[in-house]
Structure 1
C-alpha cells in the first residue's frame, strides 16, 4: 500500500494513525500528526460522543466496541497537556469525556466542570483494578470522578548504539554535555518539571516548597541549552530518535515500544533515581451533550480489547485486570509492566496532586525556561 492509499485508509478509519506513522517511520518519512488529528475530529459524525485526549489515543483500536455499537468512531479532539485541556474547558469548551492524570484529579473536580461516574452504567467496571480508582481525591461521597484507564512511566528512551552509557542509567543522561543538541524532552511541565525534581533530588512530598521550586528551576535551566526539541507530539520524538537526529529523549513507555517494533536499537531506561510514575483516566463533563455515548466511550476504553492493544502496542499498563491474561510475566517484565500495578507505581516516583496556584506558577516558569529566560 503506497502513502496515498494509506492516507485514504487513515481518513476512513480503516488504518490507525499509529500504524500509519509506523509505516512512514520505517520508510524514513517524517510526518506531523496533529493537523491530521484535527481533520479527523471535524470529519466525524455530529451525533457521536467527543473524546478530548492526548495525541495517540484517537485511534480505532481503542474503540472497537464503540464502533460495533454505533457504526462510527467517536469525535476526537487532542491536547498537548492536561493543564492545557483544563484551561480550554474552563474557557467554555464542552466535550463528553476527557483524559487527565492522577496529579490533576483534585483540581479537575474542584473546577466544578465534571460529574461523578455512575459505575453501574459501565459493563467493564467490575474488572477495573481497585488500587487504580482509589486514588487520592478521586472518591467523593462514595463515587469516583475518574475511571482509570492507562498507567505507566515517564523515563528516557535512548539509542543504545549512539548513546555511550557511563555507569548506570540515570536522569543525568538528559543533562549530558556530550550530546548537546541531540537530546529531547516532553514539552509539558506535567512531566518535565516532575522529572526535573527527581534529577534535583527533590522528593514528591516536598515539591511545593520554595526551596524545591528553586532547585528544580536551576536544573531545568541547566538542561535548556542541551535540548534540541521540546514537544508533546511523541511521534516527532520517535522519528528524531529513529533517524539518529537525537540520541535520547524524555518519553513515555509507548515510544520505546514503537521504536523497538521497527527494529530501532533503543532502550527505555530504568534510572537509578527512579522513573516518574502515573495513572491517567477518564472524566465526564457536567454538561456532556451525549451522556449515553460518553459512557460508551469509557466502556470501550476499559474493555479487554483496548487493554490488550495498550499493553502490546504501546507498552502501557491498563486498568482492566483481564487484559493481562494474554501476556506472560516475562513479556510484561520486558515492557516494564506487571499484573500488579502497585509493583511498578511504588517503585518509581508517583506524582502528588498540587494546588492550582502551584500548577500555574510552575507552568509559567517552565514556559519561560523553554523560551530561554
Structure 2
C-alpha cells in the first residue's frame, strides 16, 4: 500500500477517511485520529483573530460561516495542554481567544487575562445548552459568562468486546483488573486520570481537594500502576493498541471509541456503574484581544448548527448548540454515546469542578510520582 498516494486520495475526496484508516490497520500502521480533510493556510494573518487551541480544532469545517463571510479562516496557534497554554499567556503571549476546559476555569479567570463575554454579540447564543453555561465559576458576577461552551464529552473505558471478559457490570474496576496486567492503557494527564481515580476511590468531587481525598486517590492509582502498559496523551497510540489487540482496555475520550467503531474494530465505550467523567471545553476571550469584532464572528461560527453537526458526526463529541442534535436520529446519537436529550448524558456523569492553582500543582506533582513508580 502506498500510504502517501492514499493520503492524497483522501485529501482530494477520492477515498473516505474510514477506508483509509482500514487500510492503515491492515498494514499495521496507526490510525489517523485527526481529520484528514483539506486545510487552508493556518495563518490567515491580517485582521483575523488568533485562536489558541488544541490540535484538531484548526480545520475549516469548524469555522465555515466565518470563512464564508471573511474569505479566510482565523489564525491558529496550537497548544499541547491547557496548563501549557495558560503559562504561555501569563508570559506575555497575546491571542484573541483560547480554548480551555471547565476544570481550569477558576485558574484562567484568576489570571486576570480574560474578559467576560458579551453574549448579545452572538446570534447563536439562544440555542446554547443552559446546563453548560451554568458551569461552576462561569458567571462573572454581573450575569455574563467567562467561557462560551463549545465541545463536551466523557472520559471512560474503551474496551475490546472480543477480548475483555466482563464480570458483572461495566465498572472502573475494569482498569484495575489484574487479568489484563500489561494490556491496559491510560491517558497520561492528571486532568483525566486523577479525576477518574477519584470516581474509582469513591471520592465525591466536592471533597477532591482534601488531604484524605489525595491519599485515597493516590493509593488507587499506585495500585493500578503495575497493570498499565502505557500512559500517553497521544490518543492515536491508545487507538492503535486497541485496534491491534495489544490492549484489552484503555482510559480514553469518547472520540476514540467512535473512531474505532467506524473502522469496525469491536470496541465499546463503557458506561461504568459508578458514572463516567464529564467535561466541557469552550472559548475565552483575551482581555487585550487585538481583533475583538472578528473574534465574536469566529465564536458565533463555532456555535452554529453547521459546526455542531460536524463535531458530533466526525468527532463524536457533544456540541453546545442544542439544535445540532436535531440533525441526527436517536439511534445514531446513541451509537455515539449521545442523546436527543444531551442534558441527560451530563446528568449521568461526574462533572469536573474547577480547582485552585495550588491544587492543580499538587495533583500533577503527585500523579507524576505515581507514574514514575513512587
- Deviation string 1:39-95 (CA, Å, 9 cap, x unpaired) is x89852333432222233232321222222333333333333322322222222222
> Paired residue for 1:135?
135
Determine the structure 1 residue equivalent to 2:43.
44
Q: For 1:27 and 1:359, locate their aligned partners in 2 and report how far apart those are by CA, in whole Å.
A: 41
Distance change (3 Å), C-alpha of 1:317 and 1:43: closer
How far apart, CA to CA, are the structure 1 residues paired with 2:186 and 2:4? 31
1:181 is paired with a residue whose SS is coil
Change (3 A) 1:79 1:319: same
Q: Which runs of 5+ in 2 are unaligned?
A: none
Give the alignment's TM-score, normalised by structure 1: 0.89
CA distance in 1 between partners of 2:43 and 2:66 (Å):
14
Question: In structure 2, the residue corresponding to 1:144 is in which secondary structure?
Answer: coil
- Computed over aligned residues only, the root mean square deviation of the Cα atoms, in angstroms, reads 2.9
8 Å CA contact 1:304–1:322 kept in 2: the answer is yes
Aligned to 1:266: 267
1:346 is paired with a residue whose SS is helix
Map of 1:289 onto structure 2: 290
Give 5+ residue unaligned stretches, structure 1. none
Q: How many pairs does the alignment contain?
A: 370
Given that 1:55 and 1:233 are in contact with CA atoms closer than 8 Å, whether structure 2 keeps it comes out as no
Report the equivalent of 2:92: 92
Deviations 1:136-187 (A, max 9, x none): 2111111111001112211000111111212111111111122222211111
Q: 1:34 to 1:256 in 2, by over 3 A?
A: closer
**2:332 aligns to what?**
331
Aligned in 2, Cα 1:19/1:144: closer, same or farther, shift over 3 Å? farther
Correspondence for 2:361: 360
Give SS of 2:214's match: helix
Match of 2:192 in 1: 191
Sort the Cα spacing of 1:249 and 1:341 in 2 relative to 1 into closer, same or farther, 3 A: same
Residues 282 and 20 of structure 1, relative CA distance in 2, 3 Å threshold = farther
How far does residue 112 in structure 1 lie from its aligned partner after superposition? 0.6
2:129 corresponds to 1:144: no
1:198-239 Cα distance to aligned partner (Å, 9 max, x none): 111111111111011011011111112222222222222212
Secondary structure (helix, strand or coil) at the match of 1:143 reads: coil
Q: CA 1:259–1:142 in structure 2 vs 1: closer, same or farther (change >3 Å)? A: same
Higher mean Cα deviation, 238-247 or 261-270?
238-247
Give me the whole-angstrom Cα distance separating, in 2, the residues matched to 1:214 and 1:88. 31
- Are the counterparts in 2 of residues 13 and 60 from structure 1 also a CA contact under 8 Å? no
By how many angstroms is 1:5 displaced? 4.5
CA shift, 1:192, in A, is: 0.7
Partners of 1:13 and 1:89 lie apart in 2 by: 37
1:83 aligned partner = 83
Quote the offset at 1:248 in angstroms. Answer: 0.9
Question: C-alpha displacement at 1:318, in angstroms?
Answer: 1.1
